[in-house]
Structure 1
């Protein structure tokens, strides 16, 4: 995959907000999303209320780079970042 510019990378996000909901891992290692959003997620607009400082607020937010997306297991299958990294961004 070509390495997109940071601005181009950010533009891939469809603002679904699915990555901003709590997840839990069961005894088998399977990851399950919950209905509990991050306290900074506007559940109507699906936008982060503190996006400019999201990595500083201590909520466990992860900067999604191509390298991170390649290894994390908790992004939804239809995530634009995940589809781009894994070559299915049709």
Structure 2
């Protein structure tokens, strides 16, 4: 099991450091690979409310929850959002289980997060990831059909994934 601690600090890095102080590797390791942030989201103009769909970015590999070309994703999807500490604190569409959001709010990671469990598959066994839940990608479903794909599961914590 990995706890992210080093010899100088008894706390794991996500508890000991502010988001701005994380190294590039530490920052990237906060991503649990759930894939929820890669789902198409709709924003209601009148209210500003955000709604998730079960339509994923065409670059998302839904079995692994990883981008098929992460390093070059902006070349394929120019409006792909690159998270920063400032963005994490201001956007409202990060799932409640998102480690970036949790760390920014001073909360601990869930038991199934790979940094806590030491196993990248626990995000799937805890039913947090998009595995088996995505119906199509954004190249298979037209923009005018996205409203028919609105779902609530991305903003919920399934029973299997709740804190122990």
**Shared topology, TM-score over 0.5?**
yes
Aligned 8 A contact 1:38 1:59 in 2: no
Runs of 4+ in structure 1 off by over 4 angstroms are none
Q: Which has the larger radius of gyration?
A: 2
Q: Any idea what SS the aligned residue of 2:74 has?
A: coil
Higher fraction of strand: 1
2:56 aligned to 37, 55, 71, which one?
A: 37
Residues 1:19 and 2:37 aligned together:
yes
Query: For 2:87 and 2:48, how far apart are their aligned partners in 1?
Result: 19
Where do 5+ consecutive residues of structure 1 fail to align?
Answer: none
**Equivalent position of 1:81 in the other structure:** 100
- TM-score norm. by structure 2 comes to 0.52
Query: For 1:59 and 1:89, how far apart are their aligned partners in 2?
Result: 32
Where do 5+ consecutive residues of structure 2 fail to align?
Answer: 1-16, 110-164
> What's the C-alpha RMSD, in Å, of the aligned pairs?
1.4
Higher fraction of helix: 2
Query: For 2:58 and 2:78, how far apart are their aligned partners in 1?
Result: 9
Asked which structure has the greater RCO (Cα within 8 Å, sep 6+), the reply is 2
Q: Any idea what SS the aligned residue of 1:54 has?
A: helix
- TM-score norm. by structure 1 comes to 0.90
